[in-house]
Structure 1
Amino acid sequence: MTSARYDTSPPTTSTSYTRTTLKGKEKAAPLERAGEQVVYRTYRNEEDDLEGIMRLVEQELSEPYNVYTFRYFLVEWPHLAFLVFPTPSSLLPIATIICKQDSHRGKTNRGYIAMLSVDRSWRRKGIASQLVQLVIAEMQLRGAHEVVLETEYDNISSLSLYDSLGFLREKRLHRFYTNGKDAFRLILPLPSEDASTEGEEEAEEGRRRVGIGPEELPDRVDEAGEVHARKKVDEDEGVGMLRQVWDGLYT
């Protein structure tokens, strides 16, 4: 039996990495199978990885995304996209996570988990939890103050996963998804170097500000805006237009 493996090296090199939890403590590999070694690595390039990522996301997630949505994240934040393979020689991933990180309203360094997908036959083995921890650690290294995401309000397994990692349910977004379902916006505040100098009043104001805006904004943006993004982005406009639309929705 072999343990999980982490590979962020070029295709010609294989490097093992120590697995740690968010608290920095070593933890056993998320899964073991006889004769198989699960490999975690970052996104490399479109030729190697995009098709496999799209297949996995389209197969496992209810929300539809076009190729420009994937390119938006993968071109700008390749270091925040991880793939998992059942063996070092596998070509198709069994799990993936795709994220972004940038300034939120000019005040907060915010990480955003856009997509997390695990093949059904590989679920309940700790892979999703490990992927989330990997991206959070990467975001922390790059100065993130918080991490946010949305998930379907009735997705018990997803909510349970994020609850176990310390995420808080910040607000409920009505008819967030194109299938008409509501979502919970979840937030994970991260410790920062200057946290000890921040007053409680300032911290409370920061928490209050997250996600606050016109009450009609979630429905208008997330229902109309997301559809607008898919309709308006075509071969001529490409990633540039999607970047403008997505930044307006999620930052």
Structure 2
Amino acid sequence: MAKDGAKKILLLAGSGESRALAQALAWREGFDLHARLARPMRGRAFPVPATTGGFGGAKGFRAFLDDWQPDAVIDATHPYAEAITARTAEVCAELGLPLLHHERAPWVAGPGDDWVEIAAPEDCRNLIPERACVFLGTGRAGLERFACLEGRRIICRQLDMADGPFPFEGGEFLLSVPPFSVEEEMKLFHRLEVDWLVVKNAGGAGARPKLDAARAMGLPVAMLARPPAPEGVARAESLQDAMDWVEAL
């Protein structure tokens, strides 16, 4: 039950930003927070009680909102959780619910970086030469779309054991546990004889060392652009901006 007069906030979590925002909201009076995770987050426990699992599609999401009746929704899922973000924007617009899209700023190329922005995984086909060794830092989701890279050696880093074989020939999983330093990434790329990196523009400091290593080694990077943000939705890149939006409800 919400405290009398408390604003009910549904936080769709999954990013580091969602963890920080949940902690900040937990310290503030006047808010009743419900955090929802698609799956348990790696590392330390989430700072507030959170339920885990999906809603059962758009219909299930509407049913949850009708039942809990939040005053606002904050989408702080991963920057590439495109389907969840689109569904959230559509349903909140239908119901007239205030919605904030909270995600960290993307990386921006600097001096010495050799980045080529690509709009889709299939763009790698004509960009990366055959027989090249490609370090795929995009995670497991959507891995089958990189089948266009057959004819290259593909190394896909995973943070936990893969639940099946590589989806196409020429690929292999590499199990590693973060954090990774720039020096460690350079040693890894040298040992594997990496020619190209393919990376999602996730932003943030945690995944940055591989890009700094690529810069130091003169390695080219195919940078997968972020999905377009939903139109007409408030956005916040910093914790302070997100808290200002919540306070203004």
TM-score where L is the length of structure 2 = 0.25
Structure label with greater radius of gyration? 2
Q: Which has the higher helix share?
A: 1
TM-score where L is the length of structure 1 = 0.25
